[in-house]
Structure 1
Protein backbone atom coordinates (compact mmCIF):
# COMPACT_ATOMS: atom_id res chain seq x y z
CA UNK A 1 0.00 0.00 0.00
CA UNK A 2 1.09 3.57 -0.69
CA UNK A 3 0.91 6.01 2.22
CA UNK A 4 -0.86 9.35 1.91
CA UNK A 5 2.47 11.11 2.47
CA UNK A 6 4.08 9.40 -0.51
CA UNK A 7 1.01 9.89 -2.68
CA UNK A 8 1.08 13.63 -1.92
CA UNK A 9 4.77 13.73 -2.82
CA UNK A 10 4.06 12.20 -6.23
CA UNK A 11 1.21 14.64 -6.83
CA UNK A 12 3.24 17.71 -5.83
CA UNK A 13 6.23 16.73 -7.97
CA UNK A 14 4.00 15.94 -10.94
CA UNK A 15 2.41 19.40 -10.87
CA UNK A 16 5.80 21.12 -10.55
CA UNK A 17 7.36 19.23 -13.43
CA UNK A 18 4.30 19.46 -15.68
CA UNK A 19 4.16 23.24 -15.24
CA UNK A 20 7.80 23.46 -16.35
CA UNK A 21 7.20 21.57 -19.61
CA UNK A 22 4.55 23.78 -21.19
CA UNK A 23 6.76 26.75 -22.15
CA UNK A 24 9.46 24.53 -23.67
CA UNK A 25 7.00 22.51 -25.74
CA UNK A 26 5.43 25.69 -27.12
CA UNK A 27 8.86 26.92 -28.27
CA UNK A 28 10.02 23.70 -29.95
CA UNK A 29 10.67 23.66 -33.67
CA UNK A 30 10.16 20.20 -35.12
CA UNK A 31 11.99 18.95 -38.22
CA UNK A 32 10.43 18.92 -41.67
CA UNK A 33 10.10 15.87 -43.90
CA UNK A 34 8.82 13.59 -41.13
CA UNK A 35 5.37 12.02 -41.08
CA UNK A 36 3.53 11.39 -37.83
CA UNK A 37 0.62 9.11 -37.01
CA UNK A 38 -0.62 10.11 -33.57
CA UNK A 39 -2.39 8.51 -30.63
CA UNK A 40 -2.72 4.97 -31.89
CA UNK A 41 -4.09 2.63 -29.18
CA UNK A 42 -1.80 -0.31 -28.47
CA UNK A 43 -4.32 -1.85 -26.07
CA UNK A 44 -8.03 -1.87 -26.81
CA UNK A 45 -9.12 -0.81 -23.32
CA UNK A 46 -9.78 2.91 -23.78
CA UNK A 47 -7.04 3.99 -21.34
CA UNK A 48 -5.70 7.38 -22.42
CA UNK A 49 -2.09 6.35 -21.72
CA UNK A 50 -2.25 3.16 -23.78
CA UNK A 51 -1.43 5.16 -26.89
CA UNK A 52 1.60 5.70 -29.08
CA UNK A 53 2.83 7.77 -32.02
CA UNK A 54 4.73 6.58 -35.09
CA UNK A 55 7.22 8.84 -36.91
CA UNK A 56 8.84 8.06 -40.24
CA UNK A 57 10.88 10.05 -42.75
CA UNK A 58 8.74 11.24 -45.65
CA UNK A 59 8.77 8.59 -48.37
CA UNK A 60 10.88 8.97 -51.46
CA UNK A 61 12.21 6.62 -54.10
CA UNK A 62 15.39 5.86 -52.17
CA UNK A 63 13.72 4.87 -48.92
CA UNK A 64 13.24 1.17 -48.13
CA UNK A 65 9.72 0.04 -47.39
CA UNK A 66 10.81 -1.34 -44.05
CA UNK A 67 12.89 0.78 -41.70
CA UNK A 68 14.82 -0.08 -38.56
CA UNK A 69 12.74 0.79 -35.52
CA UNK A 70 13.51 2.87 -32.43
CA UNK A 71 11.15 2.31 -29.51
CA UNK A 72 11.03 5.24 -27.07
CA UNK A 73 9.59 5.55 -23.56
CA UNK A 74 9.56 9.01 -21.98
CA UNK A 75 11.15 9.88 -18.66
CA UNK A 76 9.57 11.48 -15.63
CA UNK A 77 10.47 9.42 -12.58
CA UNK A 78 7.92 6.81 -13.73
CA UNK A 79 5.19 8.95 -12.14
CA UNK A 80 4.75 11.82 -14.62
CA UNK A 81 5.63 12.80 -18.17
CA UNK A 82 4.12 12.17 -21.58
CA UNK A 83 5.20 11.11 -25.06
CA UNK A 84 4.89 14.70 -26.30
CA UNK A 85 7.96 15.53 -24.18
CA UNK A 86 10.20 13.43 -26.44
CA UNK A 87 8.36 13.94 -29.75
CA UNK A 88 10.76 16.53 -31.18
CA UNK A 89 13.88 14.45 -30.44
CA UNK A 90 12.17 11.36 -31.85
CA UNK A 91 11.23 13.17 -35.04
CA UNK A 92 14.89 14.10 -35.51
CA UNK A 93 15.78 10.43 -35.13
CA UNK A 94 13.11 9.53 -37.69
CA UNK A 95 14.53 12.09 -40.10
CA UNK A 96 17.79 10.08 -40.02
CA UNK A 97 16.11 7.00 -41.49
CA UNK A 98 14.32 5.25 -38.64
CA UNK A 99 10.72 4.44 -37.84
CA UNK A 100 10.21 5.68 -34.27
CA UNK A 101 7.50 4.35 -31.95
CA UNK A 102 6.96 6.83 -29.12
CA UNK A 103 4.75 5.28 -26.45
CA UNK A 104 2.97 6.38 -23.31
CA UNK A 105 2.54 4.02 -20.39
CA UNK A 106 0.53 4.08 -17.18
CA UNK A 107 2.13 5.97 -14.32
CA UNK A 108 2.95 5.42 -10.66
CA UNK A 109 1.11 5.52 -8.27
CA UNK A 110 -1.88 4.44 -10.39
CA UNK A 111 0.12 1.32 -11.19
CA UNK A 112 3.37 -0.33 -10.05
CA UNK A 113 6.58 -0.75 -12.02
CA UNK A 114 5.63 -4.30 -13.05
CA UNK A 115 2.48 -2.90 -14.69
CA UNK A 116 4.61 -0.40 -16.60
CA UNK A 117 6.75 -3.25 -17.88
CA UNK A 118 3.56 -5.03 -18.94
CA UNK A 119 2.60 -1.91 -20.90
CA UNK A 120 6.03 -1.81 -22.55
CA UNK A 121 5.72 -5.47 -23.53
CA UNK A 122 2.32 -4.77 -25.08
CA UNK A 123 3.95 -2.03 -27.16
CA UNK A 124 6.44 -4.63 -28.43
CA UNK A 125 3.52 -6.94 -29.28
CA UNK A 126 1.81 -4.07 -31.11
CA UNK A 127 5.00 -3.32 -33.03
CA UNK A 128 5.26 -6.93 -34.20
CA UNK A 129 1.58 -7.11 -35.15
CA UNK A 130 1.71 -3.88 -37.21
CA UNK A 131 5.09 -4.34 -38.88
CA UNK A 132 3.62 -4.63 -42.37
CA UNK A 133 1.25 -1.70 -41.92
CA UNK A 134 3.91 0.77 -40.75
CA UNK A 135 7.02 -0.67 -42.40
CA UNK A 136 8.84 -1.88 -39.29
CA UNK A 137 11.95 -4.00 -39.74
CA UNK A 138 11.48 -6.25 -36.71
CA UNK A 139 14.95 -7.74 -37.18
CA UNK A 140 16.44 -4.36 -36.30
CA UNK A 141 14.67 -2.93 -33.26
CA UNK A 142 16.41 -0.48 -30.93
CA UNK A 143 15.23 1.20 -27.74
CA UNK A 144 15.84 4.55 -26.09
CA UNK A 145 14.70 6.31 -22.95
CA UNK A 146 15.58 9.26 -20.78
CA UNK A 147 15.87 9.57 -17.01
CA UNK A 148 13.73 6.93 -15.26
CA UNK A 149 12.68 5.36 -18.58
CA UNK A 150 16.18 3.89 -18.79
CA UNK A 151 14.96 1.46 -16.13
CA UNK A 152 12.02 0.44 -18.30
CA UNK A 153 14.48 -0.13 -21.14
CA UNK A 154 16.91 -2.25 -19.13
CA UNK A 155 14.33 -4.44 -17.42
CA UNK A 156 12.30 -4.80 -20.61
CA UNK A 157 15.37 -6.01 -22.52
CA UNK A 158 16.28 -8.42 -19.71
CA UNK A 159 12.76 -9.88 -19.71
CA UNK A 160 12.79 -10.25 -23.50
CA UNK A 161 16.29 -11.75 -23.69
CA UNK A 162 16.73 -13.78 -20.48
CA UNK A 163 14.11 -16.32 -19.27
CA UNK A 164 15.73 -16.43 -15.81
CA UNK A 165 14.94 -12.73 -15.32
CA UNK A 166 11.41 -13.02 -16.72
CA UNK A 167 10.71 -15.95 -14.38
CA UNK A 168 12.04 -14.13 -11.32
CA UNK A 169 10.03 -10.98 -12.07
CA UNK A 170 6.96 -13.06 -12.99
CA UNK A 171 6.54 -11.28 -16.31
CA UNK A 172 5.87 -13.14 -19.55
CA UNK A 173 8.03 -12.01 -22.52
CA UNK A 174 6.34 -11.24 -25.85
CA UNK A 175 5.57 -14.18 -28.12
CA UNK A 176 7.00 -12.40 -31.17
CA UNK A 177 10.58 -13.28 -30.25
CA UNK A 178 11.79 -9.75 -31.06
CA UNK A 179 15.20 -8.91 -29.67
CA UNK A 180 16.52 -5.42 -29.02
CA UNK A 181 19.76 -4.72 -30.92
CA UNK A 182 21.00 -1.80 -28.78
CA UNK A 183 19.90 0.66 -26.08
CA UNK A 184 20.44 4.43 -25.89
CA UNK A 185 19.91 6.01 -22.48
CA UNK A 186 20.23 9.72 -21.74
CA UNK A 187 20.45 11.23 -18.24
CA UNK A 188 19.61 7.76 -16.96
CA UNK A 189 18.35 6.91 -13.49
CA UNK A 190 19.78 3.35 -13.69
CA UNK A 191 18.87 2.40 -10.11
CA UNK A 192 15.88 2.13 -7.77
CA UNK A 193 17.75 2.28 -4.49
CA UNK A 194 20.74 4.07 -2.99
CA UNK A 195 23.05 6.49 -4.71
CA UNK A 196 23.32 10.23 -4.28
CA UNK A 197 19.53 10.57 -4.22
CA UNK A 198 18.94 7.47 -2.14
CA UNK A 199 16.80 9.24 0.47
CA UNK A 200 14.35 10.58 -2.11
CA UNK A 201 14.32 7.22 -3.86
CA UNK A 202 13.30 5.63 -0.58
CA UNK A 203 9.99 7.52 -0.81
CA UNK A 204 9.45 6.70 -4.46
CA UNK A 205 10.27 3.02 -3.89
CA UNK A 206 6.95 2.59 -2.10
CA UNK A 207 5.15 3.63 -5.29
CA UNK A 208 7.28 1.54 -7.64
CA UNK A 209 6.81 -1.67 -5.61
CA UNK A 210 3.68 -1.18 -3.49
CA UNK A 211 3.19 -4.82 -2.41
CA UNK A 212 5.42 -7.25 -0.56
CA UNK A 213 5.08 -9.75 -3.41
CA UNK A 214 6.48 -7.22 -5.90
CA UNK A 215 9.33 -6.28 -3.60
CA UNK A 216 10.32 -9.92 -3.16
CA UNK A 217 10.19 -10.55 -6.91
CA UNK A 218 12.32 -7.56 -7.86
CA UNK A 219 14.74 -7.56 -4.94
CA UNK A 220 17.42 -9.79 -6.56
CA UNK A 221 17.49 -7.61 -9.69
CA UNK A 222 17.64 -4.29 -7.90
CA UNK A 223 21.34 -5.17 -7.98
CA UNK A 224 22.21 -3.70 -11.38
CA UNK A 225 25.38 -5.77 -11.59
CA UNK A 226 23.29 -8.94 -11.38
CA UNK A 227 20.86 -7.58 -13.98
CA UNK A 228 23.79 -7.03 -16.36
CA UNK A 229 25.16 -10.52 -15.71
CA UNK A 230 21.86 -12.40 -16.03
CA UNK A 231 19.94 -10.11 -18.38
CA UNK A 232 21.71 -10.69 -21.69
CA UNK A 233 21.47 -6.96 -22.31
CA UNK A 234 22.39 -5.54 -25.72
CA UNK A 235 25.09 -2.87 -26.26
CA UNK A 236 24.32 0.37 -24.40
CA UNK A 237 25.00 4.03 -25.27
CA UNK A 238 24.78 6.54 -22.42
CA UNK A 239 24.91 10.34 -22.38
CA UNK A 240 25.01 12.73 -19.44
CA UNK A 241 26.66 15.99 -18.41
CA UNK A 242 28.59 17.44 -15.50
CA UNK A 243 25.49 19.48 -14.65
CA UNK A 244 23.08 16.53 -14.72
CA UNK A 245 21.95 15.77 -11.16
CA UNK A 246 21.81 12.07 -12.07
CA UNK A 247 25.28 11.98 -13.67
CA UNK A 248 26.61 9.82 -10.82
CA UNK A 249 24.07 7.12 -11.69
CA UNK A 250 25.31 6.97 -15.28
CA UNK A 251 28.96 6.85 -14.19
CA UNK A 252 28.28 4.11 -11.66
CA UNK A 253 26.39 2.05 -14.23
CA UNK A 254 29.26 2.56 -16.68
CA UNK A 255 31.63 1.21 -14.02
CA UNK A 256 29.49 -1.94 -13.75
CA UNK A 257 29.43 -2.37 -17.53
CA UNK A 258 33.19 -1.90 -17.73
CA UNK A 259 33.80 -4.43 -14.96
CA UNK A 260 31.61 -6.96 -16.78
CA UNK A 261 33.28 -6.27 -20.14
CA UNK A 262 29.89 -5.29 -21.53
CA UNK A 263 29.73 -3.42 -24.84
CA UNK A 264 28.91 0.24 -24.11
CA UNK A 265 29.71 3.83 -25.03
CA UNK A 266 29.68 6.81 -22.67
CA UNK A 267 29.41 10.51 -23.60
CA UNK A 268 29.99 12.92 -20.71
CA UNK A 269 29.54 16.59 -21.61
CA UNK A 270 31.34 19.33 -19.72
CA UNK A 271 29.40 22.26 -18.30
CA UNK A 272 27.68 24.34 -20.93
CA UNK A 273 29.45 27.52 -21.99
CA UNK A 274 26.42 29.66 -22.86
CA UNK A 275 23.70 27.80 -20.94
CA UNK A 276 23.52 24.94 -18.41
CA UNK A 277 23.36 21.38 -19.70
CA UNK A 278 20.85 20.27 -17.11
CA UNK A 279 19.23 16.89 -16.57
CA UNK A 280 17.66 15.63 -19.82
CA UNK A 281 19.20 18.45 -21.85
CA UNK A 282 19.61 16.09 -24.79
CA UNK A 283 15.83 15.65 -25.02
CA UNK A 284 14.59 19.02 -23.84
CA UNK A 285 16.86 21.19 -26.02
CA UNK A 286 16.58 19.33 -29.33
CA UNK A 287 13.98 21.71 -30.75
CA UNK A 288 15.32 24.91 -29.16
CA UNK A 289 17.84 27.46 -30.50
CA UNK A 290 20.77 26.40 -28.28
CA UNK A 291 20.75 22.74 -29.28
CA UNK A 292 24.28 21.91 -30.43
CA UNK A 293 24.92 19.45 -27.61
CA UNK A 294 21.46 17.92 -27.89
CA UNK A 295 21.92 17.36 -31.62
CA UNK A 296 25.33 15.85 -30.91
CA UNK A 297 23.55 13.23 -28.80
CA UNK A 298 21.09 12.56 -31.65
CA UNK A 299 24.09 12.04 -33.93
CA UNK A 300 25.68 9.70 -31.37
CA UNK A 301 22.53 7.60 -31.05
CA UNK A 302 22.19 7.24 -34.81
CA UNK A 303 25.83 6.21 -35.20
CA UNK A 304 25.62 3.78 -32.30
CA UNK A 305 22.48 2.09 -33.59
CA UNK A 306 23.89 1.92 -37.12
CA UNK A 307 26.80 -0.17 -35.78
CA UNK A 308 24.38 -2.95 -34.84
CA UNK A 309 22.22 -3.10 -37.95
Structure 2
Protein backbone atom coordinates (compact mmCIF):
# COMPACT_ATOMS: atom_id res chain seq x y z
CA UNK A 1 0.00 0.00 0.00
CA UNK A 2 1.24 3.51 -0.82
CA UNK A 3 1.81 5.81 2.14
CA UNK A 4 1.34 9.43 1.09
CA UNK A 5 1.12 11.92 3.93
CA UNK A 6 -0.77 15.19 3.58
CA UNK A 7 2.43 16.96 4.61
CA UNK A 8 4.41 15.34 1.80
CA UNK A 9 1.83 16.30 -0.81
CA UNK A 10 1.72 19.88 0.45
CA UNK A 11 5.50 20.22 0.67
CA UNK A 12 6.16 19.27 -2.92
CA UNK A 13 3.03 20.64 -4.59
CA UNK A 14 2.60 24.15 -3.16
CA UNK A 15 1.69 26.92 -5.61
CA UNK A 16 0.48 24.65 -8.44
CA UNK A 17 1.51 25.63 -11.95
CA UNK A 18 -1.55 26.88 -13.84
CA UNK A 19 -0.05 26.92 -17.34
CA UNK A 20 -0.40 23.14 -17.60
CA UNK A 21 -3.38 20.84 -18.25
CA UNK A 22 -3.54 17.91 -15.82
CA UNK A 23 -4.88 14.48 -16.78
CA UNK A 24 -4.81 12.35 -13.64
CA UNK A 25 -4.98 8.61 -12.94
CA UNK A 26 -5.19 7.15 -16.43
CA UNK A 27 -5.20 3.35 -16.26
CA UNK A 28 -2.37 2.12 -18.50
CA UNK A 29 -3.07 -1.59 -17.94
CA UNK A 30 -6.82 -1.74 -17.49
CA UNK A 31 -7.00 -3.55 -14.14
CA UNK A 32 -8.18 -0.60 -12.04
CA UNK A 33 -5.38 -0.63 -9.46
CA UNK A 34 -3.52 2.54 -8.47
CA UNK A 35 -0.14 0.93 -9.19
CA UNK A 36 -1.16 0.95 -12.86
CA UNK A 37 -2.14 4.61 -13.10
CA UNK A 38 -0.30 7.48 -14.75
CA UNK A 39 -0.76 11.22 -15.12
CA UNK A 40 -0.23 13.18 -18.34
CA UNK A 41 0.70 16.86 -18.05
CA UNK A 42 0.41 19.07 -21.12
CA UNK A 43 1.46 22.72 -21.49
CA UNK A 44 -1.34 25.12 -22.43
CA UNK A 45 -1.64 25.89 -26.13
CA UNK A 46 1.17 23.47 -26.82
CA UNK A 47 2.32 23.08 -30.40
CA UNK A 48 1.76 19.59 -31.74
CA UNK A 49 4.37 16.88 -31.62
CA UNK A 50 6.19 17.78 -28.41
CA UNK A 51 8.83 15.47 -26.91
CA UNK A 52 7.62 13.09 -24.19
CA UNK A 53 9.28 12.83 -20.77
CA UNK A 54 8.29 9.66 -18.87
CA UNK A 55 9.05 9.72 -15.15
CA UNK A 56 9.16 7.01 -12.46
CA UNK A 57 9.12 8.01 -8.79
CA UNK A 58 11.61 6.74 -6.21
CA UNK A 59 11.07 5.16 -2.82
CA UNK A 60 13.58 2.33 -2.39
CA UNK A 61 11.51 0.01 -4.63
CA UNK A 62 9.10 -0.45 -1.69
CA UNK A 63 7.18 2.82 -1.34
CA UNK A 64 6.32 6.11 -2.99
CA UNK A 65 3.71 7.41 -5.41
CA UNK A 66 3.46 9.71 -8.40
CA UNK A 67 1.31 12.27 -6.56
CA UNK A 68 4.11 14.11 -4.71
CA UNK A 69 5.92 14.48 -8.06
CA UNK A 70 3.07 16.51 -9.61
CA UNK A 71 4.81 19.89 -9.16
CA UNK A 72 8.07 18.48 -10.50
CA UNK A 73 6.26 17.02 -13.53
CA UNK A 74 4.33 20.26 -14.12
CA UNK A 75 7.58 22.25 -14.04
CA UNK A 76 8.92 20.12 -16.88
CA UNK A 77 5.66 20.28 -18.86
CA UNK A 78 5.69 24.08 -18.61
CA UNK A 79 9.15 23.96 -20.13
CA UNK A 80 7.82 22.56 -23.40
CA UNK A 81 7.22 18.82 -23.19
CA UNK A 82 4.49 16.28 -22.51
CA UNK A 83 5.19 14.64 -19.14
CA UNK A 84 3.98 11.18 -18.13
CA UNK A 85 4.24 10.60 -14.36
CA UNK A 86 3.73 6.90 -13.64
CA UNK A 87 3.16 4.49 -10.79
CA UNK A 88 4.31 0.86 -10.80
CA UNK A 89 4.08 -2.24 -8.61
CA UNK A 90 6.62 -2.41 -5.81
CA UNK A 91 8.37 -4.76 -3.40
CA UNK A 92 8.00 -6.64 -1.17
CA UNK A 93 4.93 -8.11 -2.80
CA UNK A 94 6.43 -7.73 -6.26
CA UNK A 95 9.99 -7.90 -7.57
CA UNK A 96 12.09 -6.18 -10.20
CA UNK A 97 10.64 -8.05 -13.16
CA UNK A 98 7.15 -6.76 -12.27
CA UNK A 99 8.50 -3.20 -12.07
CA UNK A 100 10.08 -3.53 -15.51
CA UNK A 101 6.91 -5.12 -16.88
CA UNK A 102 4.99 -2.09 -15.65
CA UNK A 103 7.53 0.34 -17.07
CA UNK A 104 7.31 -1.46 -20.39
CA UNK A 105 3.51 -1.22 -20.23
CA UNK A 106 3.81 2.54 -19.70
CA UNK A 107 5.95 2.72 -22.84
CA UNK A 108 3.36 0.69 -24.72
CA UNK A 109 0.58 3.05 -23.55
CA UNK A 110 2.63 6.07 -24.60
CA UNK A 111 3.31 4.58 -28.03
CA UNK A 112 -0.44 4.04 -28.56
CA UNK A 113 -1.96 7.13 -26.92
CA UNK A 114 0.45 10.02 -26.42
CA UNK A 115 -0.35 11.62 -29.79
CA UNK A 116 -3.84 12.29 -28.40
CA UNK A 117 -2.16 14.70 -25.96
CA UNK A 118 0.18 16.32 -28.49
CA UNK A 119 3.16 14.11 -27.76
CA UNK A 120 5.54 12.60 -30.29
CA UNK A 121 6.10 8.86 -29.60
CA UNK A 122 9.30 8.97 -31.64
CA UNK A 123 10.91 11.45 -29.22
CA UNK A 124 10.85 9.88 -25.77
CA UNK A 125 13.10 10.61 -22.78
CA UNK A 126 12.95 8.32 -19.73
CA UNK A 127 13.75 9.51 -16.22
CA UNK A 128 13.38 8.88 -12.54
CA UNK A 129 14.80 9.49 -9.10
CA UNK A 130 16.47 6.90 -6.89
CA UNK A 131 14.76 3.51 -7.48
CA UNK A 132 12.65 5.06 -10.24
CA UNK A 133 15.82 6.18 -11.99
CA UNK A 134 17.14 2.63 -11.69
CA UNK A 135 14.00 1.31 -13.40
CA UNK A 136 14.24 3.94 -16.15
CA UNK A 137 17.90 3.05 -16.78
CA UNK A 138 17.20 -0.70 -16.96
CA UNK A 139 14.31 -0.11 -19.37
CA UNK A 140 16.58 2.01 -21.55
CA UNK A 141 19.32 -0.62 -21.49
CA UNK A 142 16.87 -3.42 -22.30
CA UNK A 143 15.84 -1.59 -25.48
CA UNK A 144 19.43 -1.83 -26.72
CA UNK A 145 20.54 -5.13 -25.17
CA UNK A 146 18.49 -8.22 -26.20
CA UNK A 147 20.19 -10.36 -23.55
CA UNK A 148 18.95 -8.08 -20.78
CA UNK A 149 15.43 -7.92 -22.22
CA UNK A 150 15.38 -11.73 -22.54
CA UNK A 151 16.52 -12.12 -18.92
CA UNK A 152 13.43 -10.25 -17.73
CA UNK A 153 11.26 -11.74 -20.48
CA UNK A 154 10.17 -8.34 -21.71
CA UNK A 155 9.68 -7.23 -25.27
CA UNK A 156 10.63 -3.56 -25.54
CA UNK A 157 7.62 -1.53 -26.66
CA UNK A 158 9.56 1.38 -28.14
CA UNK A 159 12.15 1.20 -30.91
CA UNK A 160 15.63 2.08 -29.63
CA UNK A 161 15.91 5.05 -31.97
CA UNK A 162 12.80 6.57 -30.35
CA UNK A 163 14.43 6.62 -26.90
CA UNK A 164 16.26 9.91 -27.22
CA UNK A 165 17.61 10.31 -23.69
CA UNK A 166 17.76 9.16 -20.07
CA UNK A 167 17.56 11.33 -16.93
CA UNK A 168 19.01 10.11 -13.62
CA UNK A 169 18.24 11.98 -10.38
CA UNK A 170 20.19 10.42 -7.47
CA UNK A 171 19.76 7.05 -9.14
CA UNK A 172 21.55 3.79 -8.42
CA UNK A 173 22.70 2.74 -11.87
CA UNK A 174 25.61 0.78 -10.39
CA UNK A 175 24.37 -1.70 -7.80
CA UNK A 176 27.90 -2.98 -7.15
CA UNK A 177 28.22 -0.24 -4.51
CA UNK A 178 25.73 -2.20 -2.41
CA UNK A 179 28.39 -4.85 -1.86
CA UNK A 180 30.68 -2.31 -0.20
CA UNK A 181 31.04 -2.52 3.56
CA UNK A 182 28.92 0.05 5.37
CA UNK A 183 26.76 1.03 2.39
CA UNK A 184 23.48 2.68 3.41
CA UNK A 185 21.36 -0.19 1.95
CA UNK A 186 21.94 -3.80 2.90
CA UNK A 187 22.12 -6.62 0.38
CA UNK A 188 18.64 -7.60 1.53
CA UNK A 189 17.39 -4.87 -0.82
CA UNK A 190 18.88 -6.76 -3.76
CA UNK A 191 17.46 -10.06 -2.54
CA UNK A 192 14.06 -8.40 -2.16
CA UNK A 193 14.08 -7.55 -5.87
CA UNK A 194 14.57 -11.19 -6.92
CA UNK A 195 12.01 -14.00 -7.15
CA UNK A 196 11.91 -15.98 -3.90
CA UNK A 197 14.33 -13.39 -2.51
CA UNK A 198 17.15 -14.84 -4.55
CA UNK A 199 17.02 -18.29 -3.02
CA UNK A 200 19.65 -20.49 -4.68
CA UNK A 201 21.06 -17.58 -6.69
CA UNK A 202 24.60 -16.22 -6.49
CA UNK A 203 23.85 -12.61 -5.64
CA UNK A 204 26.85 -11.09 -7.40
CA UNK A 205 25.91 -12.96 -10.58
CA UNK A 206 22.29 -11.82 -10.33
CA UNK A 207 23.45 -8.26 -9.67
CA UNK A 208 24.84 -8.01 -13.21
CA UNK A 209 21.28 -8.11 -14.58
CA UNK A 210 20.17 -5.55 -11.98
CA UNK A 211 22.88 -3.01 -12.73
CA UNK A 212 22.38 -0.68 -15.73
CA UNK A 213 26.08 0.16 -15.78
CA UNK A 214 26.75 -3.36 -17.06
CA UNK A 215 24.60 -2.82 -20.18
CA UNK A 216 25.88 0.25 -21.96
CA UNK A 217 25.50 -0.57 -25.63
CA UNK A 218 27.26 1.69 -28.12
CA UNK A 219 23.83 2.95 -29.22
CA UNK A 220 22.85 4.00 -25.68
CA UNK A 221 21.19 7.45 -25.77
CA UNK A 222 22.53 10.64 -24.13
CA UNK A 223 22.21 10.76 -20.33
CA UNK A 224 21.67 13.64 -17.89
CA UNK A 225 22.84 12.84 -14.33
CA UNK A 226 22.14 15.02 -11.28
CA UNK A 227 23.67 14.12 -7.92
CA UNK A 228 25.56 15.61 -4.99
CA UNK A 229 28.05 14.67 -2.31
CA UNK A 230 25.08 14.55 0.09
CA UNK A 231 23.39 11.86 -2.01
CA UNK A 232 23.42 8.28 -0.69
CA UNK A 233 24.18 7.04 -4.21
CA UNK A 234 26.82 9.65 -5.05
CA UNK A 235 29.55 7.07 -5.78
CA UNK A 236 27.18 4.96 -7.91
CA UNK A 237 26.43 8.06 -9.98
CA UNK A 238 30.11 8.88 -10.42
CA UNK A 239 30.78 5.30 -11.49
CA UNK A 240 27.96 5.50 -14.05
CA UNK A 241 29.24 8.80 -15.45
CA UNK A 242 32.77 7.38 -15.77
CA UNK A 243 31.50 4.23 -17.51
CA UNK A 244 29.50 6.27 -20.02
CA UNK A 245 32.53 8.43 -20.81
CA UNK A 246 34.84 5.42 -21.19
CA UNK A 247 32.51 4.11 -23.88
CA UNK A 248 32.35 7.44 -25.66
CA UNK A 249 28.67 7.89 -24.76
CA UNK A 250 27.21 11.34 -24.26
CA UNK A 251 26.60 12.37 -20.66
CA UNK A 252 25.66 15.75 -19.19
CA UNK A 253 26.03 16.25 -15.44
CA UNK A 254 24.98 18.56 -12.62
CA UNK A 255 26.91 17.67 -9.47
CA UNK A 256 26.78 19.70 -6.25
CA UNK A 257 29.38 19.54 -3.49
CA UNK A 258 28.66 19.06 0.19
CA UNK A 259 28.45 22.81 0.78
CA UNK A 260 25.08 22.94 -1.02
CA UNK A 261 22.75 22.15 1.87
CA UNK A 262 19.62 21.71 -0.29
CA UNK A 263 20.97 18.69 -2.15
CA UNK A 264 20.17 15.68 -0.01
CA UNK A 265 18.94 12.50 -1.71
CA UNK A 266 16.17 13.29 -4.27
CA UNK A 267 16.23 17.02 -3.52
CA UNK A 268 15.11 17.53 -7.14
CA UNK A 269 11.51 16.87 -6.08
CA UNK A 270 11.29 20.06 -4.03
CA UNK A 271 10.83 22.98 -6.42
CA UNK A 272 11.40 25.50 -3.60
CA UNK A 273 15.18 25.12 -3.77
CA UNK A 274 17.28 27.14 -6.25
CA UNK A 275 19.32 23.97 -6.76
CA UNK A 276 16.16 22.23 -7.95
CA UNK A 277 15.32 25.08 -10.29
CA UNK A 278 18.77 24.74 -11.83
CA UNK A 279 18.05 21.04 -12.38
CA UNK A 280 14.81 21.97 -14.15
CA UNK A 281 16.54 24.51 -16.41
CA UNK A 282 19.24 22.05 -17.35
CA UNK A 283 16.74 19.23 -17.83
CA UNK A 284 14.58 21.28 -20.20
CA UNK A 285 17.61 22.19 -22.28
CA UNK A 286 18.73 18.53 -22.32
CA UNK A 287 15.32 17.26 -23.52
CA UNK A 288 15.03 19.90 -26.23
CA UNK A 289 18.53 19.11 -27.48
CA UNK A 290 18.31 15.31 -27.58
CA UNK A 291 14.76 15.44 -28.98
CA UNK A 292 15.76 17.94 -31.67
CA UNK A 293 13.08 20.45 -30.72
CA UNK A 294 12.96 23.25 -33.36
CA UNK A 295 14.16 26.66 -32.17
CA UNK A 296 10.72 28.23 -32.60
CA UNK A 297 9.18 25.66 -30.24
CA UNK A 298 12.01 26.12 -27.74
CA UNK A 299 11.37 29.87 -27.76
CA UNK A 300 7.67 29.26 -27.11
CA UNK A 301 8.56 27.01 -24.18
CA UNK A 302 10.83 29.68 -22.71
CA UNK A 303 7.94 32.17 -22.86
CA UNK A 304 5.69 29.65 -21.09
CA UNK A 305 8.23 29.17 -18.28
CA UNK A 306 8.56 32.93 -17.80
CA UNK A 307 4.78 33.24 -17.53
CA UNK A 308 4.62 30.41 -14.98
CA UNK A 309 7.40 31.81 -12.76
Pair in the same fold by TM > 0.5 = yes
1:207 aligned residue? 192
**Post-superposition CA distance 1:142-182 (Å, at most 9, x none):** 11101111110111012223223212332222277773100
Between the aligned partners of 2:5 and 2:201, the Cα distance in structure 1 is: 29
The answer as to 2:215 corresponding to 1:227 is yes
**Post-superposition CA distance 1:176-224 (Å, at most 9, x none):** 7773100111111223342476472311112111334895794443454
The answer as to 2:57 corresponding to 1:71 is no
2:249 to 258, 262, 273: 262
C-alpha contact 1:40 1:52 (8 A) present in aligned 2: yes
The answer as to 2:111 corresponding to 1:128 is yes
**Normalized against structure 2, the TM-score is what?**
0.83
Between the aligned partners of 2:106 and 2:220, the Cα distance in structure 1 is: 19
Change (3 A) 1:177 1:253: closer
Q: Which moved more, 1:176-185 or 1:137-146?
A: 176-185
* CA RMSD, 1 decimal: 2.6
**Post-superposition CA distance 1:11-49 (Å, at most 9, x none):** 9xx86x968735524x62222211100000001112121
1:58 aligned residue? 44
C-alpha contact 1:158 1:227 (8 A) present in aligned 2: yes
Change (3 A) 1:199 1:270: closer
2:21 to 6, 29, 35: 35
1:246 to 233, 255, 258: 233
Between the aligned partners of 1:110 and 1:161, the Cα distance in structure 2 is: 29
C-alpha contact 2:111 2:158 (8 A) present in aligned 1: no
Change (3 A) 1:175 1:246: closer
How many pairs does the alignment contain?
Answer: 286
Change (3 A) 1:242 1:57: same
C-alpha contact 1:18 1:81 (8 A) present in aligned 2: no
1:158 aligned residue? 141
Between the aligned partners of 1:116 and 1:282, the Cα distance in structure 2 is: 22
Structure 2 portions without partners, runs of 5+? 292-309
Structure 1 portions without partners, runs of 5+? 1-10
